[in-house]
Amino acid sequence: MVSEQFDAFLLDLDGVVYLGDEALPEAVESVNRLNERDNKLRFLTNDPRFQRETIANRLRKLGIDAEKDEIITSGWATAHYLSQQDETTAAVVGSAGLEIELQEEGIEVTDDDPNAMVVGADEKTSYQDIQRAARHIQRGATFVGTNPDGSFPTLDGPVPGAGAIVRAVEAAAGTEPMVVGKPEPLMFEMALDGLADDVQAAAIGDNPATDILGAHRAGLTGILVAEDKPTTASARDLQQPDLTISSLAHLFTDTTDTWEAPPYSWPDELRPGVAAVVVNDVDEVLLLKRADKEQWALPTGTVERCEPVGDAITREVDEETGLQIAVERLIGVYSHPEQQVFSYPSGKAVHFVTNCFRCSIEGGTPEADEDEALEVGFFDMNDLPSDILPMQPQWIADANDADGSPAIR
């Protein structure tokens, strides 16, 4: 059974242990049974408003023996993160509880030239708060959002969550935040701190988009509490749980597959891409040494809004190398995440669906655009440089496939 498969469980609260002030069916008994079995427990909530002690008290009132140190709120995690980054001052849009968590981690809460601008939000958040936050960010304060939830459910219907205010500040400041709460992996990583290095842990939540995705990004097995298994378009979607249970009592009857992390990051966005195998009249292929990765690569780029793919590749090759080309044929469409998810130094990951074309030269002399490439050159297709982007020799081989029908990889 699941309770025997893992040493530790990281439990979401709202929708798993309680809903509002009420414990969910079989939740209290199941959590206590895990405690008796010496499973290590951590309780994780994206709600940044309350102090950890307040949440521990709420659990104790329901009959669960929880300690402050077992609670990870997005508010405390934000404070802990800033203190790990050696930040000493922060301005706050949010609750008194969030301010106290920051102060207890040694962060002074001030509007006098703060290092960080922490946006969490509560029901008193105003237009003036958004303006104040945007100004601090524009003056150089690090923009940190406690959690991305746009809304959360109440008995009277959904109400705006901190994510709604974080996005308002983002729009006003023109800067993207660093976000702490789920589905970012940071809270899960903090929850594992203090447990043994080889601990077998699983995360349990009721939201595939935050709890399960965040668990998987942190390398943990993700168990969903829901009546039905969620549907996702792709079997590779990280929001797909390893097990779906209708209540925590199933931890003592069911078993689960453990999560195996795929060899790619979860992409922040999906983009249409183009690539060119440009061949000269002695059958050599055009490569450029990319400034960002210092590796040889085919000319590539992104399709812009309203731009046909043929125009996109013609434009990209001209921008990157100064060559005018003619598109001869489609070589293939490449979208497998193992080859086509790229992580950038900013921490963002992009999944490209790349249309690759065989092209001939119409005019111009190749010259590296200094923002994009360190060098440009033609290479024998059977003697490519060893430091070429790993998937591109396949694309070049596909360009020479005598059959000529497009590859789908």
H-only helix segments in 127-231:
127-138, 162-173, 186-192, 213-217
Among 5, 15, 111, 377, binds Mg ion (CB under 5 A): 15
Least distance between Mg ion and beta carbon 205 (Å):
6
- Cα–Cα distance between 256 and 264 in angstroms, integer? 23
Interacting positions 205-264 with Mg ion (CB under 5 A):
206
State how far the alpha carbon of 255 is from the alpha carbons of 2, 11, 32, 245, 353, in Å: 5, 17, 19, 10, 37
| 75 within 8 A of 98, measured Cβ to Cβ | yes
* Nearest distance in Å: CB 313, Mg ion: 45
Tell me 266's DSSP state.
P
Name the minimum Å distance from CB 44 to Mg ion.
Answer: 9
Rank residues 114 and 205 by Cβ distance to Mg ion and give the closer one.
205
Work out whether 47 is an interface residue with Mg ion (CB under 5 A): no
CB neighbours (10 Å) of residue 191?
26
Q: Which is nearer to Mg ion, 209 or 381 (CB)?
A: 209
Which one of the spans 15-23, 84-92, 118-126, 213-221 is the region binding Mg ion (CB under 5 A)?
15-23
Q: How far apart are the first and last CA of the chain?
A: 39
Among 12, 242, 316, 372, binds Mg ion (CB under 5 A): 12
Q: Which is nearer to Mg ion, 14 or 122 (CB)?
A: 14
According to DSSP, the β-strands at 284-290 and 373-380 are antiparallel
Decide whether 205 or 301 has the Cβ nearer to Mg ion.
Answer: 205
Q: Which residue is nearest to Mg ion (CB)?
A: 15
Smallest separation (angstroms) from Mg ion to the CB of 20: 12
Instruction: Name residues contacting Mg ion, limited to 296-355 (CB under 5 A).
Output: none
Nearest CA among 214, 232, 234 for reference residue 222 = 214
Only one of the segments 95-103, 204-212, 213-221, 236-244 lies at the binding site for Mg ion (rule: CB under 5 A); that segment is 204-212
Point out which span in 154-162, 203-211, 278-286, 379-387 binds Mg ion (CB under 5 A). 203-211
Among 14, 29, 268, 369, indicate the residue that binds Mg ion (CB under 5 A): 14
* Part of the chain binding Mg ion (CB under 5 A), chosen from 5-13, 155-163, 237-245, 275-283: 5-13
Q: How many residues of this chain bind Mg ion (CB under 5 A)?
A: 4
Closest CA to 107 of 98, 95, 54: 98
Cα three-residue angle 207-212-214, rounded to 5 degrees: 110
Whether 251 and 17 have beta carbons less than 8 Å apart is answered as no
The least distance separating Mg ion from the CB of residue 45, rounded to whole angstroms, comes to: 8
Q: How far, in Å, are 220, 240, 265, 282 from residue 260 at the CA level?
A: 8, 12, 13, 47
**Chain residues that interact with Mg ion, rule: CB under 5 A:** 12, 14-15, 206
